[in-house]
Amino acid sequence: MAAGVFCMCGIVGIVGSNAVAERLVDALKRLEYRGYDSAGVATIHNGAMDRRRAEGKLFNLEKRLDAEPLPGNTGIAHTRWATHGVPNVTNAHPHFVDGVAVVHNGIIENFSELRDELTAEGAVFTTQTDTEVVAHLMAKYLREGVEPRAAMLRMLNRVSGAYALVVMLKSDPGTLMAARSGPPLAIGYGRGEMFLGSDAIALSPFTNEIAYLVDGDWAIVTRDGAEILDYAGNPVERPRQISQTTAYVVDKGNHRHFMEKEIYEQPEVISHALSHYVDFASNTVGDNAAAIDFKSVSGLAISACGTAYLAGLVGKYWFERYARLPVEIDVASEFRYREMPLSPSQAALFISQSGETADTLASLRYCKDNGLKIGAVVNVKESTIARESDAIFPIMAGPEIGVASTKAFTCQLAVLASLALGAGKARGTITPEQEKQMVRHLAEMPRIMSRVLNLIEPQMESLSRELSKCRDVLYLGRGTSFPLAMEGALKLKEISYIHAEGYAAGELKHGPIALIDENMPVIVIAPYDRFFEKTVSNMQEVAARGGRIIFITDEAGAAASKLPTMATIVLPNVDEIIAPMIFSLPIQLLAYHTAVFMGTDVDQPRNLAKSVTVE
Ligand code: F6R
């Protein structure tokens, strides 16, 4: 495939009864988590179509609009995350061709072939985007005299790939046409106004009455309502629901960044999440952790991406240990193509904050096709992954705006711990006494988290000055601290841009030890658990080669180890079922303060987006 500028992006449209440009930008602000390479808005006014576009973040577009406002009661808008090519104004959406305007989220896979065909017929392409073929196809059919709906249907039957699209025509100012094949698209019902958006949060200031298009749907939206059709042109019904997202207030409170706010919210949101799964009065795991019949399943397949995958990896240790349930786990981008043999006697768990991650969704569909029972551990309950699952396990973290996941990670862990205990209970692999004991530990967790956050903050801040001078950092851990080591490295590299790797401590001597010298800090995560002595031996190997150790341990561990370190971070002694959540806090704060110290864009690090709806 030729290189093009593909996008992952957020889209929005309004057919309104008064000016829409400002409201479109307001909606884009709620979609900026989907990408922030460029943004644009287009409206129709007095029979003319016009647009404003700007490179970079939304405030650049706002400045453009302040200088040159856009009147008009119908409009579309877009915020972009490019995967190929330079994110510049020319490639920013909306794309215009002969009175057709298009915004698009996803990839038109056959764009190259369509572009060649249209170019041969005389079309002149002005951008490097795949999206422009959609505008050219529409323009061509309209020029040939095809009426707008038929043109839309013809265009949809020519393009292939993953897309959510909104099309606006200069000739029809009171209508927007939209289609979904992959990335999500919601229709919002207002009073005398109608809305389209990549999610319900985008539309939340305008309406909470939402219908989601399903793959293969397209819609004609006017001020009075929406007609939803399939690709054969037959009408279909999609239920309207009242979205729960409208109540969310998205602001930073007293914090400098959303990431900081989200780190400090963890005690509260974890307590909320836990109370959904465990009964603190009886110290037992409740029915919400039993939405999958763990007793009868022969094994568990877990798939997710990035931080969510690392939460799954901690979950694997728990399901295997407490429920004696074999777990197959892989990153979703590998899982979906591995063609692994699966049996309908297994269940599958998909972990995703956004619930929209393309690779995770594809893995889910692979498991569904193989007859597995599907469970979704998600933050966004109305997301595609949630809607396509048999059982939803919400993590109840509230909106996570910082691109680097923090509270979603620890809430995912809290939910997975509850599910593993629920599975152990159902399978008879933990006794009622053990269940009670571990639920008691879970119940203590929010309080311990608050204490730890206050306790370690000053130390993390001063340590981050040292870390910010480094080019490379190694994180080591064993058992559930191994995924945490990888999570620590991921957090550091994504927001501070310092190269970092997480390793299983025992693997050190099989290669990475060659990197150790006095310039390489090694962050060792080692609660005083059954692996402690082994991890300390690995630390010894680092110390013997002049490596500088940052030791994250607990009181018992600090007392037991006499090795010299660059710094020792001492957490309270906690039970091993809650250790991964508690030990997440120093690694999050260390990454956060290092990034702040280095002056990077903490909440919106370069090249990243919060919701990854392309492969
Ligand atoms: C890292 C991070 C990403 C996400 C990953 C999956 O801090 O946030 O690695 O975890 O993109 O996203 P979700 O959970 O939305 O599927």
Q: Residue 124: CA atoms inside 13 Å, Cβ hemisphere, count?
A: 2
d(CA 384, ligand 1 centre) in Å? 15
Q: Which ligand 1 atom sits nearest the alpha carbon of residue 353?
A: 14
Catalytic residue among 9, 305, 367, 411: 9
Ligand 1, atom 10, lies closest to the CA of 307
Coil, strand, or helix at residue 241?
strand
Average pLDDT, the chain: 93
Q: Is the pLDDT of residue 249 over 70?
A: no
d(CA 364, ligand 1 centre) in Å? 16
Catalytic residue among 140, 261, 493, 610: 610
DSSP secondary structure letters along 353-407: SSS--HHHHHHHHHHHHTT-EEEEEES-TTSHHHHT-SEEEE-------SSS-SH
Q: Is the pLDDT of residue 254 over 80?
A: no
pLDDT tens readout for residues 12-28: 999 999 999 999 999 99
CB 72 within 8 A of CB 45: yes
Counting residues of the chain whose pLDDT is more than 90, the rounded percentage is 80
How high is the pLDDT of residue 5?
45
CB 382 within 8 A of CB 345: no
Q: Which ligand 1 atom sits nearest the alpha carbon of residue 408?
A: 14
Ligand 1, atom 11, lies closest to the CA of 306
**Residue 50, token pair as written in the block:** 């016009």
40 DSSP β-pair partners: 53, 78
Q: How confident is the model at residue 82 (pLDDT cuts 50, 70, 90)?
A: confident
**Residue 299, token pair as written in the block:** 């094994």
How high is the pLDDT of residue 427?
97
Comparing 288-302, 460-474, 601-615, the range with the smallest average pLDDT is 601-615
Ligand 1, atom 8, lies closest to the CA of 405
235-241: average pLDDT: 94
C-alpha–C-alpha distance, residues 196 and 204, integer Å: 11
Site to probe by mutation for ligand 1, drawn from 258, 259, 352, 353 as the one with most ligand atoms within 8 Å of Cβ, is 353
How high is the pLDDT of residue 252?
76
Ligand 1, atom 6, lies closest to the CA of 305
d(CA 327, ligand 1 centre) in Å? 21
Q: Is the pLDDT of residue 1 over 80?
A: no
CB 473 within 8 A of CB 520: yes
Q: How confident is the model at residue 268 (pLDDT cuts 50, 70, 90)?
A: confident
Ligand 1, atom 16, lies closest to the CA of 352
How high is the pLDDT of residue 83?
59
Site to probe by mutation for ligand 1, drawn from 357, 405, 584, 588 as the one with most ligand atoms within 8 Å of Cβ, is 405
**Residue 101, token pair as written in the block:** 């305007």
Q: Is the pLDDT of residue 336 over 90?
A: no
d(CA 472, ligand 1 centre) in Å? 22
Q: Which ligand 1 atom sits nearest the alpha carbon of residue 306?
A: 9
Q: Which ligand 1 atom sits nearest the alpha carbon of residue 357?
A: 16
CB 155 within 8 A of CB 133: no
d(CA 378, ligand 1 centre) in Å? 11
**Residue 410, token pair as written in the block:** 């620890």
609 CB-contact burial (10 Å; exposed 0-12 / middle 13-18 / buried 19+): buried
Q: How confident is the model at residue 289 (pLDDT cuts 50, 70, 90)?
A: very high
d(CA 305, ligand 1 centre) in Å? 6
Per-residue CA distances from 182 to 103, 107, 165, 213 (Å): 15, 10, 10, 10
For the stretch 44-49, contacts whose Cβ atoms lie closer than 8 Å and that sit 24 or more positions apart, written own/partner, are 44/72, 44/73, 44/74, 44/75, 44/168, 44/170, 44/173, 45/70, 45/71, 45/72, 45/73, 47/170, 47/173, 48/170, 49/96, 49/99, 49/101, 49/168, 49/170
How high is the pLDDT of residue 613?
67
131-141: average pLDDT: 97
d(CA 582, ligand 1 centre) in Å? 20
d(CA 285, ligand 1 centre) in Å? 27
C-alpha–C-alpha distance, residues 414 and 315, integer Å: 10
SS3 letters across 92-114: CCCEEECCEEEEEEEEECCHHHH
Pocket of ligand 1 (CB under 6 A): 305-308, 352-354, 357, 360, 404-405, 490, 494, 611-612
* Residue ranges per structural domain of the chain: 10-246, 261-598
Q: Which ligand 1 atom sits nearest the alpha carbon of residue 611?
A: 15
C-alpha–C-alpha distance, residues 350 and 348, integer Å: 7
Q: Is 9 a catalytic residue?
A: yes
| CATH match for 10-246 among 3.30.420.40, 3.40.50.12160, 3.60.20.10, 3.10.20.30 | 3.60.20.10
H-only helix segments in 278-331: 306-323
**Residue 453, token pair as written in the block:** 């956050």
Q: How confident is the model at residue 337 (pLDDT cuts 50, 70, 90)?
A: confident
The CATH code of domain 261-598 reads 3.40.50.10490
pLDDT tens readout for residues 413-426: 999 999 999 999 99
Q: Is the pLDDT of residue 347 over 70?
A: yes
How high is the pLDDT of residue 407?
97
The owner of tokens 């956004």 is 354
d(CA 493, ligand 1 centre) in Å? 14
Ligand 1, atom 7, lies closest to the CA of 404
Coil, strand, or helix at residue 576?
coil
pLDDT tens readout for residues 507-537: 998 998 888 998 889 999 999 999 999 999 9
Site to probe by mutation for ligand 1, drawn from 336, 354, 602 as the one with most ligand atoms within 8 Å of Cβ, is 354
Ligand 1, atom 3, lies closest to the CA of 306
The closest of 244, 238, 208 to 226, measured between CA atoms, is: 238
pLDDT tens readout for residues 382-420: 899 999 999 999 999 988 989 999 999 999 999 999 999
How high is the pLDDT of residue 182?
83
pLDDT tens readout for residues 296-315: 999 999 999 999 999 999 99
Ligand 1, atom 9, lies closest to the CA of 306
Q: Is the pLDDT of residue 3 over 80?
A: no
